[in-house]
């Protein structure tokens, strides 16, 4: 029996729909397989090891390791993202882990690539793990974007040129010699005056002492008592 034209169009339409649905299912990376040996009623539990705070300069890149561990029941089609931070600032690798059985770990790497013009501030994001078994939010990351330090401005050194004063008609060495001799003469005069004054003060102090000490200071021996006044006058004359 030959199908009429309307029935032919309906059959062709159904076939086209089936082909489109099949192609979408094949191209989708979603893994729908269940974990073998785990009861369907088991509630999955996972843990995360990742930094809570990090600093990064605008215009630089940095890799941050993240470890996901299945604690209970296992998880499948495990993906990581930072909810709250723009995906223009980071990428995650690998894209997903197919299955993490209980007690197993999966390692991710977050690659931060901060453009040079990014605003200097703290970007807050939540570590979010998406799986076939559900979504898990496991802590917060505070990403501090810093502005690179500007190079210090170079200070130009200013050189001072000293002009030499040339004394015409007189040799410089002669002036140095005259100055040196004047210094020596001044030292001699000061020394002589100092010793003269010191000696005078010593004699005056000696005359004020007791009789025996005066003879000793004047350098004479007391022959007779009546010679004391004579020796005293002699000392005053010397002073």
Q: Could you tell me the domains of the chain?
A: 45-146 (2.60.40.10), 172-238 (no CATH)
Mean pLDDT of the chain: 77
171, two tokens: 């040799």
Using CA atoms, how far residue 132 sits from 34, 38, 98, in Å, is: 9, 14, 10
**Residue 92 clears pLDDT 80, i.e. is over it:** yes
**Residue 26 clears pLDDT 50, i.e. is over it:** no
189, two tokens: 């005069």
Percentage of the chain exceeding pLDDT 70: 57
Residue 55's contacts (CB-CB under 8 Å, 6 or more residues apart) are 144, 146
For every residue of 113-147, DSSP letters joined together read E--TT--SSEEEEEEEEEETTEEEEEEEEEEEEEP
């Amino acid at each position: 029996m030959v199908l009429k034209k309307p029935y032919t169009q309906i059959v062709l339409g159904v076939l086209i729909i089936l082909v489109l649905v099949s192609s979408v299912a094949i191209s989708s990376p979603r893994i729908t397989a269940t974990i073998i040996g785990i009861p369907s009623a088991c509630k999955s539990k996972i843990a995360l090891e990742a930094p809570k705070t990090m600093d990064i300069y605008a215009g630089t890149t940095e890799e941050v390791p993240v470890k996901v561990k299945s604690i209970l029941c296992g998880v499948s089609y495990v993906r990581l993202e930072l909810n709250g931070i723009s995906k223009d600032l980071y990428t995650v690798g690998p894209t997903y882990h197919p299955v993490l059985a209980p007690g197993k770990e999966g390692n991710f790497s977050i690659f931060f690539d901060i453009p040079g013009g990014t605003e200097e501030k703290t970007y807050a994001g939540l570590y979010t793990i998406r799986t076939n078994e559900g979504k898990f939010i496991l802590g917060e990351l505070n990403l501090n974007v810093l502005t690179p330090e500007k190079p210090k401005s170079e200070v130009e050194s200013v050189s001072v040129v000293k002009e030499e004063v040339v004394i015409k008609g007189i040799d410089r060495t002669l002036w140095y010699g005259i100055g040196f001799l004047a210094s020596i003469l001044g030292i001699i005069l000061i020394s002589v005056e100092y010793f003269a004054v010191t000696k005078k003060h010593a004699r005056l102090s000696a005359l004020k002492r007791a009789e025996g000490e005066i003879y000793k200071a004047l350098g004479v021996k007391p022959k007779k008592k009546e010679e004391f006044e004579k020796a005293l006058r002699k000392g005053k004359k010397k002073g």
